[in-house]
């Protein structure tokens, strides 16, 4: 499965998954620089998907399913004042059965250190 993560410091991350497989994303993969940004939790704000089978999103170890999606759709939870925060401190596990695409925007909680070379 191909996947791509676009990270921004002090802002949301975008995760795009494509194909039929399972990926397991550690919270560290949502950091722009693990020396300067330590991500401690992440909540799903938006998700867009298209599949001929299912897209399953699980959190933590062992993986606890928080979403099972079919067909095509979009959820803009942040516009309703919500997010999927179940297991927010655990890994994000995405499984796409029979192929498809899933794009998620996740907010993150992190601690930051100062890079003295940038002062």
Q: What is the pLDDT of residues 46-94, one digit of tens each?
A: 999 999 999 999 998 888 999 999 999 999 999 999 999 888 999 999 9
Report all structural domains of the chain as residue ranges with CATH numbers, in order of start. 2-110 (2.60.120)
- Residue 118: the pLDDT is 60
- Residue 117: the pLDDT is 65
Q: Which pLDDT band, with edges at 50, 70 and 90, does 109 fall under?
A: very high
How far apart, in Å, are the Cα atoms of 11 and each of 30, 42, 85, 111?
10, 11, 16, 12
Report pTM. Answer: 0.89
Q: Helix %, strand %, coil % for the chain, to 5?
A: 10, 60, 30
What average pLDDT does the chain have?
A: 92
């Amino acid at each position: 499965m191909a996947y791509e993560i676009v990270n921004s410091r002090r802002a949301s991350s975008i995760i795009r998954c494509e194909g039929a497989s399972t990926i397991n994303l550690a919270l560290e993969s949502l950091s722009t620089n693990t020396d300067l940004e330590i991500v401690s939790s992440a909540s799903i704000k938006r998700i867009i998907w298209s599949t001929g089978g299912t897209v399953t999103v699980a959190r933590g170890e062992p993986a606890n399913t928080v979403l099972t999606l079919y067909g095509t759709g979009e959820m803009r939870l942040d516009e309703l004042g919500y997010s999927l925060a179940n297991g927010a401190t655990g890994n994000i596990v995405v499984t796409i059965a029979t192929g498809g695409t899933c794009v998620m925007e996740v907010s993150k909680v992190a601690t930051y250190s100062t890079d003295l070379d940038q002062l």
